[in-house]
């Protein structure tokens, strides 16, 4: 592509994005397509000769966009919603233009140091003490995996057992398996009425494992679980873990972003005293996929687990030159911090905090509406922006309600099973979601629920 062509198509692409961001509501959240439809629509092999770029952009609009599930839609409320506002989109484009590989300080001084700067800003915004070492990884799954590997190396265990709540995200068990912990050594501890990990059962499981000659080495409480956004008692977990010399990693992938508002910092109580924690700005801080942050109390713990420096990566030592590749699995690292920097600067902490607070208020409003309605039951406390509910008439009515909403294309929710009963999750988190969007969703739900 010549610079002139880049200008022409670049302006066209930016125009398309601007229109899309302005009219995202006009698109169905969920596409009406069958599996295999894109595979069938596209040629079976790649072109021998280059094609006209205008045609490629047209095909993007015709073939790709209509088959997309729109995560950037204000009524995307399935899983945990996320957002890609203009700031992040522009940052991604500029990062691609510079195209650095932030493996070594020398291979990208700017990307390396911007990562240090933005993660220190984020730490301060969250009310976390100085001294933590942060690194950006793609997802919380990868961040948690790194924490488990570091914990295993630090504790030097071979028959290590790891503990999390029954409501912990599957990435914890997966991370443990990938880190070499045997599946039968991952303990998923039962929860109390508020879906919080039970401390008596945690203590009992550790005691039993010690008696069996196993090596309890890591506990992973969650601040904002996926299924119900419950908050494990991190401080109590720490007290138990410390007695046994165990590593505590906290999964704040979803709940952590709320700490940029000091009103929500008490929900993170204890996290500052853990060994590591993960927070995902790509979930609820309005930063586009993918950007997960792993904070570790001591960077040497990660280095001990991951540093392996072949001759071709050796650079002159300088204590201010951080070589991120020594602290994690990937060698090549994208310039992710640019989109965090753009987002933090363009919004400022107060605006981000206000938006998150508003979304939590909106979730509480909706939950209250549901509580007042004869057909709805709210199934979990609403501390964050997740509302978990069901139809009062039971599983079948809940399933029918879910399917009717799904077919509508108006909103995307996600199904789950809680205490053996079908429930529906509605997670607010997209930057464009307004009270009007919630009113649309609430009307739709009442319409399909009857009563």
Ligand X SMILES: Cc1ncc(COP(=O)(O)O)c(C=O)c1O
β-bridge pairing 376-378 and 292-296 = unpaired
State the minimum distance, in angstroms, from the CB of residue 167 to ligand X. 9
State the minimum distance, in angstroms, from the CB of residue 97 to ligand X. 26
Distance in angstroms (rounded) separating the CA atoms of residues 126 and 252: 11
Is residue 140 part of the contact set for ligand X (CB under 6 A)?
yes
Is residue 139 part of the contact set for ligand X (CB under 6 A)?
yes
Is residue 425 part of the contact set for ligand X (CB under 6 A)?
no
Is residue 80 part of the contact set for ligand X (CB under 6 A)?
yes
Residue 81 or residue 260: which is nearer to ligand X going by CB? Answer: 81
Residues between 165 and 184 that touch ligand X (CB under 6 A): 169, 171
State the minimum distance, in angstroms, from the CB of residue 147 to ligand X. 12
- Give the full edge-to-edge strand order of the sheet including 133-137: 133-137, 292-296, 276-279, 247-251, 215-220, 160-165, 186-189
Closest CA to 244 of 274, 207, 191, 200: 207
Distance in angstroms (rounded) separating the CA atoms of residues 359 and 379: 19
Distance in angstroms (rounded) separating the CA atoms of residues 173 and 164: 9
State the minimum distance, in angstroms, from the CB of residue 294 to ligand X. 11
Take residue 121 and report the two structure tokens written for it: 């800003």
Is residue 411 part of the contact set for ligand X (CB under 6 A)?
no
The answer to whether 208 and 360 have CB atoms below 8 angstroms apart is no
Distance of CA 8 to the CA centre of its chain: 35
Is residue 251 part of the contact set for ligand X (CB under 6 A)?
yes
Is residue 343 part of the contact set for ligand X (CB under 6 A)?
no
Distance in angstroms (rounded) separating the CA atoms of residues 104 and 314: 9
Residue 175 or residue 214: which is nearer to ligand X going by CB? Answer: 175
Q: Which of 107, 161, 165, 226 binds ligand X (CB under 6 A)?
A: 226
Is residue 253 part of the contact set for ligand X (CB under 6 A)?
yes
Distance in angstroms (rounded) separating the CA atoms of residues 413 and 418: 15
Is residue 430 part of the contact set for ligand X (CB under 6 A)?
no
Take residue 327 and report the two structure tokens written for it: 């602290």
Is residue 145 part of the contact set for ligand X (CB under 6 A)?
no
Taking the chain, what is the end-to-end CA distance rounded to the nearest angstrom? Answer: 60
Residue 118 or residue 222: which is nearer to ligand X going by CB? Answer: 222
Residues between 261 and 280 that touch ligand X (CB under 6 A): 280
Closest CA to 115 of 141, 86, 96, 95: 95
Q: Which of 83, 118, 222, 398 binds ligand X (CB under 6 A)?
A: 222
Stretch that binds ligand X, among 3-11, 213-221, 251-259, 364-372 (CB under 6 A): 251-259
Residue 251 or residue 383: which is nearer to ligand X going by CB? Answer: 251
Take residue 380 and report the two structure tokens written for it: 């979990």
State the minimum distance, in angstroms, from the CB of residue 159 to ligand X. 26
Residue 137 or residue 214: which is nearer to ligand X going by CB? Answer: 137
Radius of gyration of the chain (CA): 23
State the minimum distance, in angstroms, from the CB of residue 290 to ligand X. 7
- Please enumerate in sequence order all residues whose Cβ is within 8 A of that of 134, keeping only pairs 6 or more positions apart, or say none: 115, 116, 119, 120, 122, 123, 293, 294, 295, 296
State the minimum distance, in angstroms, from the CB of residue 288 to ligand X. 13
How many residues sit in the footprint of ligand X (CB under 6 A)? 16
Half-sphere exposure of 66 (CA within 13 A, CB side): 11
Kindly state the DSSP code that residue 409 receives in the 8-state scheme.
Answer: S
At residue 242, what are phi and psi to the nearest 5 degrees?
-60, -40
Stretch that binds ligand X, among 41-49, 65-73, 219-227, 269-277 (CB under 6 A): 219-227
Neighbouring CB atoms inside 10 A of 308's CB total: 8
Q: Which of 82, 118, 276, 292 binds ligand X (CB under 6 A)?
A: 292
Is residue 146 part of the contact set for ligand X (CB under 6 A)?
no
Is residue 353 part of the contact set for ligand X (CB under 6 A)?
no
Q: Which of 132, 145, 254, 342 binds ligand X (CB under 6 A)?
A: 254
Give the footprint of ligand X on this chain (CB under 6 A). 79-80, 139-141, 169, 171, 222, 224-226, 251, 253-254, 280, 292
């Amino acid at each position: 592509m010549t610079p002139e062509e880049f200008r022409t198509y670049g302006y066209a692409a930016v125009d398309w994005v601007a229109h899309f961001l302005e009219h995202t509501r006009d698109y169905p959240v969920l596409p009406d397509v069958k599996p295999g439809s894109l595979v069938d629509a596209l040629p079976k092999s790649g072109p021998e000769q280059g094609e006209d770029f205008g045609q490629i952009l047209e095909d993007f609009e015709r073939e790709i966009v209509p088959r997309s599930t729109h995560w950037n839609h204000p009524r995307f409320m399935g899983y945990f919603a996320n957002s890609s506002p203009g700031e992040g989109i522009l940052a991604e484009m500029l990062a691609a233009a510079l195209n650095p590989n932030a493996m070594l300080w020398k291979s990208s001084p700017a990307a390396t140091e911007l990562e240090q700067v933005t993660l220190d800003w984020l730490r301060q915004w969250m009310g976390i003490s100085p001294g933590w070492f942060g690194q950006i990884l793609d997802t919380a799954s990868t961040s948690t995996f790194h924490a488990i590997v570091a914990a295993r190396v630090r504790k030097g265990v071979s028959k290590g057992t790891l503990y999390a709540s029954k409501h912990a995200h599957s990435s914890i068990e997966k991370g443990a398996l990938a880190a070499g912990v045997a599946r039968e050594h991952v303990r998923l501890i039962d929860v109390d009425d508020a879906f919080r990990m039970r401390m008596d059962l945690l203590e009992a499981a550790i005691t039993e494992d010690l008696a069996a000659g196993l090596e309890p080495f890591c506990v992973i409480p969650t601040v904002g679980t996926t299924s119900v956004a419950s908050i494990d008692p991190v401080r109590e977990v720490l007290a138990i873990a410390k007695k046994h010399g165990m590593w505590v990693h906290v999964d704040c992938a979803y709940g952590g972003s709320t700490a940029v508002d000091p009103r929500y910092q008490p929900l993170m109580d204890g996290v500052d005293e853990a060994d590591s924690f993960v927070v995902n700005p790509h979930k609820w801080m309005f930063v586009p996929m993918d950007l997960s942050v792993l904070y570790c109390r001591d960077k040497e713990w990660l280095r001990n687990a991951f540093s392996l420096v072949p001759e071709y990566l050796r650079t002159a030592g300088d204590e201010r030159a951080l070589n991120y590749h020594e602290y994690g699995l990937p060698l090549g690292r994208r310039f992710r911090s640019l989109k965090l920097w753009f987002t933090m600067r363009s919004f400022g902490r107060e605006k981000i905090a206000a938006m998150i607070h508003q979304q939590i208020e909106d979730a509480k409003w909706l939950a209250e509406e549901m509580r007042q309605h004869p057909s709805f039951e709210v199934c979990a406390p609403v501390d964050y922006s997740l509302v978990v509910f069901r139809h009062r008439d039971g599983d079948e009515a809940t399933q029918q309600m879910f399917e009717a909403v799904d077919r509508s294309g108006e909103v995307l929710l996600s199904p789950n099973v809680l205490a053996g009963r079908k429930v529906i999750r509605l997670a607010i988190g997209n930057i464009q979601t307004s009270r009007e969007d919630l009113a649309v969703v609430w009307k739709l739900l009442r319409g399909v629920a009857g009563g």
